[in-house]
Amino acid sequence: MSQQPIQSPGPVELSIRSKLTALLQPTVLTISNDSWQHRHHAAMREQDGSNQETHFTVNVVSEQFKGKSSMQRHRMIYAALSDELAQGLHALSLKTKTPEEVPPSES
């Protein structure tokens, strides 16, 4: 894993966290900002490129996913984040599980 500058969460990350928490009451919610790995796109943008919020990996464990297919789970998340996706948020890598689905070694 390449070195990443440590940064405090930007507005998009905070929004992802608050919206998904409200929607899913997750037992686990980890958000990782991968935008830095795509920083070469930054030459195109007007911002200074230091806290890009374009690509995230989101790992959610929630009871709300029970009985739903992966596609349905992903759609729930996309719907909650439609404003962000219409603006700068460009890509989401999603891992969605119910508490029962998490392997014992991880819980």
Partner 1 sequence: MSTNFHEVVDVPHFQALLSEDLNRVSLLNFWAPWAEPCKQMNEVVKELANKYEKVLVLQIEAESLADITESFEVEAVPTFVLLRGHTLLTRISGADAAALANALAIHAHAPPKALSQTNEKASVGTNGTYAPPVSETPEELNARLKKLMNQSKVMLFMKGTPDHPQCGFSRKSVAILRDHKVEFDSFNILTDESVRQGLKVLNNWPTFPQLIINGELAGGLDILKEMAESGELQEALA
Task: Confirm or reject binding of residue 41 to partner 1 (CB under 8 A).
Answer: yes
CA distances from 51 to 7, 43, 59 (A): 8, 13, 21
Using only the alpha carbons of the chain, give its radius of gyration: 15
From candidates 7, 18, 45, 50, binder to partner 1 by CB under 8 A: 45
What's the maximum distance between 2 C-alpha atoms anywhere in the chain?
Answer: 45
Q: Single out the segment in contact with partner 1 by CB under 8 A; choices: 7-15, 18-26, 87-95, 99-107.
A: 87-95
Binding site for partner 1 (CB under 8 A): 40-46, 70-71, 74-75, 78, 82, 85, 90-95
